[in-house]
Structure 1
Amino acid sequence: MAGIHPSAVVAEEAQIGPGCAIGPFCVIGPEVVLGADVNLKSHVVVTGDTHIGDGTEIYPFAVIGEIPQDKKFGGERTQLRIGARNRIREHVTMNTGTAGGGGLTRVGDDGLFLAGCHVAHDAQIGDRVVLVNSVAIGGHCIVEDDVIVGGLSGVHQFVRIGRGAIIGALTMVANDVIPHGLVVGPRGELDGLNLVGLKRKGVKRSDITALRAAFQMLKDGEGTFQDRARRLADESDSDFVQQMVAFILGASDRNFLTPR
Structure 2
Amino acid sequence: MNQISPLAYVHPEAKLGDNNIIGPFCYIDRNTVIGDNNVFQNGVTINFGARIGNGNEIFPGASISTKPQDLKFKGEETTCVVGDNNSIRENVTISRGTASKGTTTVGSNNLLMEGLHIAHDCVIGSECIIGNSTKFAGEVIVDDRAIISGSVLVHQFCHIGGYVMIQGGCRFSQDIPPYIIAGKEPTRYCGINLVGLRRRGFNNELINNIHEAYRLLYSKGVLKEGIDEIRRNLPDCEEINYIIRFVENSKRGIIR
TM-score range, shorter chain: over 0.9
Counterparts of 2:51 and 2:70, CA distance in 1: 21
Counterparts of 1:174 and 1:143, CA distance in 2: 14
Counterparts of 1:234 and 1:84, CA distance in 2: 41
The correspondence of residues 236-255 of structure 1 with structure 2, limited to 5 A, is 236-237=234-235, 238-250=237-249, 252-255=250-253
Conservation of the 8 A alpha-carbon contact between 1:211 and 1:240: yes
1:10 is matched with: 10
1:192 is matched with: 191
Kindly provide the amino acid, as one letter, of the partner of residue 227 in structure 1.
E
DSSP-derived class of the 2:81 partner: strand
The alignment yields a C-alpha RMSD, in angstroms, of 1.1
Shift of 1:159: 0.4
Deviations 1:130-163 (A, max 9, x none): 1100000110111000001110111110000111
Count of paired positions:
255
DSSP-derived class of the 2:241 partner: helix
Deviations 1:32-80 (A, max 9, x none): 1111101101100001111111000000000111110011111111110
Conservation of the 8 A alpha-carbon contact between 2:247 and 2:253: no
1:148 is matched with: 147
Kindly provide the amino acid, as one letter, of the partner of residue 230 in structure 2.
L
The correspondence of residues 93-172 of structure 1 with structure 2, limited to 5 A, is 93-99=93-99, 101-172=100-171
Conservation of the 8 A alpha-carbon contact between 1:230 and 1:245: no
Kindly provide the amino acid, as one letter, of the partner of residue 43 in structure 1.
G
DSSP-derived class of the 1:198 partner: helix
Counterparts of 1:127 and 1:233, CA distance in 2: 29
Conservation of the 8 A alpha-carbon contact between 1:134 and 1:151: yes
Shift of 1:239: 2.6
Q: Structure 2: any 5+ residue segments left out of the alignment?
A: none
Shift of 1:173: 2.1
Counterparts of 2:105 and 2:228, CA distance in 1: 31
TM-score, normalised relative to structure 1: 0.95
Name which of 224, 227, 251 aligns with 2:225: 227
1:85 is matched with: 85
- Give % identity: 34
Shift of 1:245: 0.8
